Structure 1
Amino acid sequence: GRAAGRHVVAVQDSSELALGSRRARAGYGPVGNGNAAGLLLHPVLAVEAGTGALLGLVSMQVWNRGAGELAPRRQRATANKESQRWIDATKQAGAVLEGAASITMVSDRESDFYELFAERPHNVDLIVRACQNRRIEAAQEAPGLLFAFIDAQPEQSRFEVTIPAAPGRRARDAELAVRYAPVTVRRPLNGADPALPETIGLTLVDVREVSKPKDGSEPVHWRLLTTHSVATVAQARRVVDLYRSRWVIEEFFRTLKTAGFDIEAADIGDPHAMINFAAAATIAAVTIKQLVQARDGNTDQRLSDAFDPD
């Protein structure tokens, strides 16, 4: 209901809840490259485009990995992989937020796989930070590669943004150079369902920091694949601004862990009970993040966004 009539950014990401090796004996699966035990959490947060107001929790998945051996990744269908969570969350956003004026799902590099673009709901646009140097249709006979293609494009504009603070990084102003172009992405040769379309038309928006940061941080470089049409610099800038909305989920995870609930310190030996607790804490952490936004006066939200009238 809160999303009705609004332009909404749905931000999804995964985080490991590492509960410590002593709980491995209690039935918790591996996390952290197998060096610890715990759960995995995958929430979707609804954010109003422009204001950044956190409207609420769209969906979440909490699960405990099995300890058994899995078949090699390329020998399993997507439905049998953890990557299916990105598709399920996108479809859930399309259903829950159907009253919104527009829905844009934003996600980071882990979600860059062909099926997500092929199976997105009709009412959900995607902005995905590219990870795979994909084959694309090109003018020459042999397929081109995504990264080399965009690197060869002329710079089309520059603009300044504020890069927010993060662990080990101070907030800073950065000048970004932008390039953008339509691309036709080809279906992967290995592992992709042959029933998927052979090609998908997308737009690639490339932004990179012009100079090296003085604090020694890595310069910003985002290659953003999107289903949005981008024909102008203003539209490219909007894609970048929508992608930057994903920082709210980083702040949410920080509230759930180090800055708020310290959920990884919970002394719960039963994985099923811990899954329930993680779900309840996720809901509460969203409310706390809404209250922090209200305290800072950055959004024009009502108390009913965070609490039922009763």
Structure 2
Amino acid sequence: MASHAASRTAERVAGREIIVVQDTSELILGGRRAKANGYGPVGKGGGTRGLLLHAALALDAGTDALLGLVDAQVWNRDKGKVTPRRSRATTDKESQRWLSATVQASAALSTAQSITVISDRESDIYEHFARRPANVELLVRANWNRKIKLKSGAFAKQFAFVDGLPEAARFSVTIPAAPGRKERIAELALRFSPIMPCRPHPGPAPDLPDMIRLTMVDVREVSSTHDGEPIHWRLLTTHVVRSPKQARRIVDLYRRRWTIEEFFRTLKSAGFDIEEADIGEPEVMIKFVAAATVATVTIMQLVRARDGTTEEELTEAFEPDDQPVLEALSSQLEGATAKQKNPHPKGTLAFAAWVIARLGGWTAYYGKPGPKVMRLGLEAFRRIKYGTTLRLKNV
């Protein structure tokens, strides 16, 4: 299912600047009962059981349009104790998922004009940078304070080095509201420099180069008036950065990583309640998670397109033979008032979003349809489409 979805995404990326956001999330499915059913440990302490899902999504760097799924890996930690992590090759660790998703993006999105894979601190792995495919750039939030080689030939720690750089620029951004956090305007200070991190020693991959060339972009909040922790991102990238404008673009690209958090929220609570699924067999649950992952991406595409501002075509999320079914449904679902008419052009994703929302119970009068409405509508649409394929004979 994930492979088919990735092939559909590949059809949409030709000639476009693509960013790929990837991350991992734990799916907590229970305690003792889940353990008895064969689910492995997740969460802190190992008292809860479940699965892990690693997903990668493709977005258009220019329009922010969600183009589809690139990769999805679901697994169960059902094995016993393993050898210490430092003595194992990356291919034998769960951290291989970051490298595998990057390789998948390279292959599946090869017709894109450019590919930038974005991920959080857990993916700050030397081998991730050293073995990146030639057609992929990386943007990672730094986790390790590595040793770097300076132009003078001396060595230093990368965090202290960047902290000592003069500010290159300041700019303001709007930090959107979130649970427990009000919207605010933040003033950010920008620093950047090329760096040469050294290969970790000891390490399980002695064939890696002794040093790699990266750029660090440091951005930190300098005018915080709120009670929470101020923003401070140290970003490592393979992109060449020569100006404050280019460094600012790196920061803006990293902010797109939030899309993968939105994806997991939709999967777990906003659209599906996947952790409430009462499936006792891990292998069956893995297949269900894969199917829900594909559906969640479509739901997000519909929610984003509902206002008609993205100008995406229907084929960004649907098959070409879905269009006549959607158009027939639209004419049936429209009411007598202006608000109950589909306002979007045929062939657009916004047109489809209106139909799916109406099938999901939206009246077209109050509020905007969210993920749960879109999920219900998408399920109804698929049943209707299946019905159109039946050829019943008299019996």
Q: Shorter-chain TM-score: what band?
A: over 0.9
Q: Could you tell me how far 1:45 is from its partner in structure 2?
A: 0.1
Give RMSD over aligned pairs: 1.2
Name the structure, 1 or 2, with higher relative contact order (CA <8 Å, separation 6+). 1
Distance in 1, Cα, partners of 2:181 & 2:149 = 39
Amino acid paired to 2:43:
G
Distance in 2, Cα, partners of 1:196 & 1:152 = 29
Amino acid paired to 1:43:
A
2:167 corresponds, among 134, 155, 177, to 155
Matches within 5 A, 1:195-234: 195-214=207-226, 216-234=227-245
Larger Rg: 2
Higher helix share: 2
Amino acid paired to 2:120:
D
CA contact (8 A) 1:30 1:67 kept: no
Check if 1:281 corresponds to 2:292. Answer: yes
Q: Could you tell me how far 1:189 is from its partner in structure 2?
A: 1.0
Partner of 1:24: 35
Amino acid paired to 2:205:
D
Q: Could you tell me how far 1:172 is from its partner in structure 2?
A: 2.5
Amino acid paired to 2:59:
V
Amino acid paired to 1:28:
Y
The alignment of Structure 1 onto Structure 2 pairs a total of residues equal to 309
Distance in 2, Cα, partners of 1:164 & 1:296 = 19
Moved more, 277-286 or 290-299: 290-299
Partner of 1:106: 118
Distance in 2, Cα, partners of 1:51 & 1:189 = 42
Distance in 1, Cα, partners of 2:57 & 2:159 = 30
Q: Could you tell me how far 1:139 is from its partner in structure 2?
A: 4.7
Amino acid paired to 1:272:
E
Q: What is the TM-score of this pair, normalised by structure 1?
A: 0.97
Partner of 1:95: 107
CA contact (8 A) 2:124 2:142 kept: yes
- Unpaired runs of 5+ in structure 1? none
Check if 1:236 corresponds to 2:247. Answer: yes
Local SS of the residue matching 1:185: coil
Partner of 1:304: 315
Partner of 1:10: 20
Partner of 1:183: 195
Q: Could you tell me how far 1:140 is from its partner in structure 2?
A: 5.6
Partner of 2:272: 261
- Percent of pairs with identical residues: 62
Higher strand share: 1
- Unpaired runs of 5+ in structure 2? 1-10, 322-395
Distance in 1, Cα, partners of 2:115 & 2:248 = 17
Q: Could you tell me how far 1:295 is from its partner in structure 2?
A: 1.1
Deviations 1:127-151 (A, max 9, x none): 0000000010025665200100000
Distance in 1, Cα, partners of 2:132 & 2:176 = 30
Amino acid paired to 2:29:
L
Amino acid paired to 2:245:
A
CA contact (8 A) 2:186 2:224 kept: no
Moved more, 259-268 or 166-175: 166-175
Distance 1:298 1:166, change over 3 A: farther
Deviations 1:141-168 (A, max 9, x none): 6520010000000011011222233333
Local SS of the residue matching 1:234: helix
Distance in 2, Cα, partners of 1:158 & 1:231 = 16
Moved more, 4-13 or 67-76: 67-76
Amino acid paired to 2:104:
Q
CA contact (8 A) 1:51 1:298 kept: no
Q: Could you tell me how far 1:274 is from its partner in structure 2?
A: 0.3
